Amino acid sequence: MTNTTTAMFNAEAAVYSRRRLVPCFDAFYGGAVRALELGPHELGDVLDLGCGTGALAAMVADAHPAARLTLLDGAPAMVEAAAAALGPRTVASVVQDFGAPLPAGPFDAVVSALAIHHLDDAGKRSLYDRAFEVLRPGGVFVNAEQVLGATPALDTLLWRWHEREARALGASDAEWDAAVERMSHDRCATLKANLTMLRAAGFADVSAHFADGRFAVLAGRRPT
């Protein structure tokens, strides 16, 4: 993630919200929480990569009462907001870029939502490799991600659906324009490419657990 991207999210931490701009928000995030069932029945330590304001971490905490959250983001204001929202469920707050070594863990789950697509493909591969390494055997990796259409024509269609559905939910011109500016920093890969990278990193049972337009939930498990 570039310094410009980090600064942008840091500045927007107080007002940042995804609900109107992710039309499938409930099913998308719900699919990420459900995909955790690929891993241990009871989650203990969980690492959230690119935690933002803590939307996914809060849902994980609600679904897994014993979960202990380590929050990681490059934007200090985002980490602060997420930690405040989660309270004592947060055991560590880490401000760092995705290129730095990850907290050692081992973790029962590593999760991420709408963050890893800011990396180029080499950066994605590196992060998937490192996420695999900090998981305990049997641990699960779940990435609720924004993906590229499989062809330029399909990608154009997905963009059109995204704007139409966001506006139908009440996104204003200013909100959509700000979202387009944020998305100009994205380096999305196709769903197929992301799944291939996860398999190359060593994950087993790799699959898409949800897909709707530009949004998909990918998961894999570190073999026991």
Fold of 3-221: Rossmann fold (3.40.50)
Cα(71)–Cα(57) distance, integer angstroms:
8
- pLDDT computed for residue 17 by the predictor: 59
Residue whose C-alpha is closest to residue 38's, from 197, 210, 201:
210
Structure token digits, residue 54: 């803590």
Q: Does the bond joining 106 to the residue before it have cis omega, within 30 degrees of 0?
A: yes
Cα(188)–Cα(121) distance, integer angstroms:
8
- pLDDT computed for residue 4 by the predictor: 42
- With contact defined as beta carbons under 8 Å apart, do 40 and 33 qualify? no
Where do we find the tokens 């719900």? 30
**Domain boundaries of the chain, sorted by first residue:** 3-221
Q: What is the DSSP string of the chain?
A: --HHHHHHHHHTTTT---TTTSTTHHHHHHHHHHHGGGS-SS--EEEEET-TTSHHHHHHHHH-TT-EEEEEES-HHHHHHHHHHHGGGEEEEEE--TTSPPP---EEEEEEES-GGGS-HHHHHHHHHHHHHHEEEEEEEEEEEE-B-SSHHHHHHHHHHHHHHHHHTT--HHHHHHHHHHHTT----BHHHHHHHHHHTT-EEEEEEEEETTEEEEEEE---
pTM over 0.85? The answer is: yes
Cα(38)–Cα(56) distance, integer angstroms:
17
Q: Measured in whole angstroms, how far is the alpha carbon of residue 153 from the centre of its chain?
A: 25
- Rounded mean pLDDT for each run of 10 residues along the chain, 224 residues in total: 45 56 94 96 95 95 96 94 94 94 96 96 97 98 97 95 93 91 91 98 98 96 96
